[in-house]
Amino acid sequence: MRQLYSGKNPYIFRGEDGFFLKCVRDNIKNQRTSNSTYEAILNMSNFQEEALLSEADLHKIPVLTSLFFKRNNIITLNPDEVKVKATSSGTKGLQSQLAFDHESYRTGLIMAYRFFSYHKLISGMPTNYIVLGYEPSKHNEAGAIKTAFGVTKFAPAISRVYVMKDTGTDYTLNIGGVEKALKRFAAMPFPVRFVGFPSYLYYLVCELKENGIKLRLHKNSKVILGGGWKQFTDDAIDPETLYKMVDEYLGIPRENCHEFFSAVEHPLPYLKCTYGHFHIPCYSRVIIRDVITFEPVEPGVTGILNFVSPLVGSMPLVSVATDDLAIFYDHRKTPCTCGLEADYFRWVARAGVTQIKTCAVEAAERMEGANR
C-alpha cells in the first residue's frame, strides 16, 4: 500500500490502474476479520467488499461519522501494537479516541513528507515557531496538538512558543509572551513560522494592532493554518482579510500564507489553493452526501463531506463522514483557476451533529445497547 502514498507528486499516481480500489477492498477485508463491531456494521448493511467493482461504487461502503467515533471505541489493535494515540477536540464534551499502528504511522509520515515537500514547505533553514494552539502535555492527547507539533519539524526548530501554555494541569493564554517572542524573532536572521488555528492568529494580530506594533519578519517566514475557528466561529473573518492583516503587522506576504484541512478521524492533509479550493490527493476520494438521505449528490451541490482512504489499518477509518458541509468539483468539467489538475472541494460550513447520523451508526448503537 505504501506505493499509493509515496509518490513525489501527491496528485498523480503512477502505479497500476485500480490500485486505489484494491487497497480499499483489502483494508475493509482486514478490518472485517479483525474488528467484530465493524464486521457487524458491514453485515447489517449487507455490504461485501467484492461489490466494489469500480470507484463509482465507493459510496456503497458503510460510512462512519465523527460522531460515531466520539460515542464508540472500536480500535482494531491490541494495546501493545499502538504507536500513537490521539483524541479529537470534542463536541459537547465528547471526543473521538483514535489509535494508529506502526505501519499506518510510518506510511503517514512518508505521505506527509512527500505532500509538504511538493508544496515547498519542507526547509533546512533554522526557524522560530509560534504555535497557534496548545503546548504538548501529558494530560492532553488531542490530535490537533500532535499535528501542530509535527508541522514544527518541517524546518529545524530554534524555539517553539505556544499561544496556549501548559501549566501542568491546564492551559493559560500566552499572547503577551508570544508578543515578546516576536520582537526577539524580528531581530534575528531567521524565519518565523506560525502554525495552528486561524482564530489565535487573528487575536494575536489584533493585539499587535492595538499596541501599535508592526513587525517585518524574515522574508521566508510562513503562516500554516489548520483546524478552523472551532468555538470562535462568531469572531471568524474572511481568510483574505486575515492575510492582509498578517502582511501589514507581521510582514508576511499572501503567497507565504497557507491553510490546510484535516481531521483526526481522517489524518490526511488537503491544501487550500489561492482560489479557496482544497485539492484532493491521489490517495483519497471525496463523496458529498445529501444531509437528509445521505445519498451521494452531484458535483456542485452542497452536502456532508465524506472521505474514502485506505491509509489506516488500526481502525475502520476507510470511509468517514465529517461534521462539515462542502461542495465537490470534477476538475475535468470545472477546472480550478490555480491550474492544478486534480478534483477539489470547497468547504462551506460546519454541520449540526443531528444531520450526520447514518443508518450504520444507528445500527451499531442498537447493537451496543443490546450487548450491555
Domain ranges of the chain: 110-262
- How many Cβ atoms are within 10 Å of 295's Cβ, its own excluded? 10
C-alpha to C-alpha distance for 88 and 321, rounded to whole angstroms:
14
Residue where the block lists cell 451496543:
368
Residue 93 pLDDT > 60? no
Q: Are 329 and 297 in contact (CB under 8 A)?
A: no
Short-list 153, 141, 235, 221, CA closest to 186: 221
Short-list 251, 315, 321, CA closest to 286: 321
Confidence of residue 299 (pLDDT cuts 50, 70, 90): very high
- pLDDT on residue 66: 82
Q: Are 283 and 5 in contact (CB under 8 A)?
A: yes
> How many residues would you count in the chain?
372
The cell numbers describing 179, all together, are 508578543
Residue where the block lists cell 470562535:
232
Reduced to 3 states (helix: H, G, I; strand: E, B; else coil), residue 132 is strand
C-alpha to C-alpha distance for 184 and 181, rounded to whole angstroms:
5
Q: Are 100 and 314 in contact (CB under 8 A)?
A: yes
User: What are the two backbone dihedrals, phi and then psi, of residue 322, each rounded to the nearest 5 degrees?
Assistant: -90, -175
- pLDDT on residue 138: 75
- pLDDT on residue 370: 35
Q: How far is CA 110 from the centre of its chain?
A: 16
- 302 has which bridge partners? 327
The DSSP bridge pattern shows strands 266-271 and 278-279 to be unpaired
Instruction: Name which residue leads in pLDDT, 137 or 356.
Output: 137
Kindly state the percentage of the chain with pLDDT values over 90: 69
Residue 88 pLDDT > 80? no
Is the four-CA dihedral 47, 49, 53, 58 of positive or negative sign? Answer: positive
Radius of gyration over alpha carbons of the chain, in Å? 21
Question: Helices 198-210 and 239-250: crossing angle, nearest 10°?
Answer: 50
C-alpha to C-alpha distance for 286 and 322, rounded to whole angstroms:
11
C-alpha to C-alpha distance for 120 and 141, rounded to whole angstroms:
29
Q: What is the pTM of this model?
A: 0.87
**Average pLDDT taken over every residue of the chain:** 88
Encode pLDDT of 115-165 as tens digits.
999 999 999 999 999 999 988 877 776 767 878 888 999 999 999 999 999
Question: Under CATH, which architecture does the 110-262 domain have?
Answer: 3-Layer(aba) Sandwich (3.40)
- Give the HSE-up count for residue 287: Cα atoms under 13 Å, Cβ half-sphere: 23
Average pLDDT on 43-66 reads 95
Encode pLDDT of 203-246 as tens digits.
999 999 999 999 999 999 999 999 888 778 888 899 999 999 99
Residue where the block lists cell 509572551:
177
- pLDDT on residue 94: 65
